[in-house]
Amino acid sequence: MLDIKFIRENPDIIKDALRKKHLEFDVQNLIDTDEKRRVLIKEVDDLRAEQHTASDAIAKLAGPERDEAIKKVKNLKERLGSREEKLRTIEALYENLMLLVPNVPDLSVPEGESDADNQEVRAWGDIPKFDFTPKSHIELMEMHDMVDFERGAKTAGFRGYYLKNDGALLSFAVWQLVLNMMVKKGYVPMIVPSLIKKEVFVGTGYLPQGEEDLYRTQDDLYLSGTGEVGAMGYYMGEILEEKNFPIKMLVFSPCFRREAGSHGKDTKGLMRVHEFYKWEQVILSKADHLESVRLHEELVTNAEEIMQALEIPYHVVANCGGDLGLGQVKKYDIEAWLPSEDRYRETHSASYFHDFQTRRLNIRYRDEEGKLRFAHSLNSTALPMPPRPLISLIENHQEADGSIRIPKALQPYMGKEKIEKGSK
Query: Residue positions in the annotated binding site?
Result: 226-228, 257-259, 273-276, 280, 346-349, 379, 381
Binding site, annotated residues for L-serine: 226-228, 257, 280, 379, 381
- Give the C-alpha separation, 384 to 275, whole Å: 11
Q: What value, to the nearest 5°, has the Cα angle with vertex 116 and ends 279 and 340?
A: 65
Distance CA 39, CA 87 (A): 9
Residue set of the binding site for ATP: 257-259, 273-276, 346-349
Buried b (16+ CB within 10 A) or exposed e, 235-248: bbeeebebeebbbb
Instruction: Classify burial at 42, counting beta carbons within 10 Å of its beta carbon; exposed 0-12, middle 13-18, buried 19 or more.
Output: exposed
Q: How far is CA 328 from the centre of its chain?
A: 9
∠ CA 108-111-113, rounded to 5°: 140
Gyration radius (Cα) of the chain, Å: 27
Counting Cα atoms < 13 Å in the Cβ hemisphere of 193 gives: 12
Is 257 annotated in the active site?
yes
Given the residues 79, 346, 420, 423, select the one marked as catalytic.
346
Q: At 214, which helix (H) or strand (E)?
A: none
| Dist CA 292 CA 303 (whole Å) | 17
Exactly one of 298, 335, 388, 395 is catalytic; which is it? 388
Active site residue 346: yes
Collapsing DSSP to helix, strand or coil, 268 comes out as coil
Backbone angles phi, psi at 208, to 5 degrees: -85, -10
Give CA–CA dist 303/187, Å, rounded: 13
Which is catalytic among the residues 37, 159, 257, 345? 257
Q: Cβ neighbours of residue 378 under 8 Å, at least 6 residues apart?
A: 282, 283, 285, 292, 295, 296, 299, 350, 351, 352, 353
Q: Is 272 a catalytic residue?
A: yes
| 151 classed as catalytic | no
Among residues 285, 340, 349, 380, the one annotated as catalytic is 349
d(CA 281, CA 201): 17
Ramachandran area for residue 205 (φ above 0: left; ψ -120 to 50: alpha; else beta): left
* 365 three-class SS: strand
Is 24 an annotated catalytic residue? Answer: no
Residue 262: which H helix or E strand, with range?
A: none
Asked whether 161 and 270 are in contact (CB, 8 A), the reply is yes
Q: Could you list the active site residues? A: 257, 272, 346, 349, 388
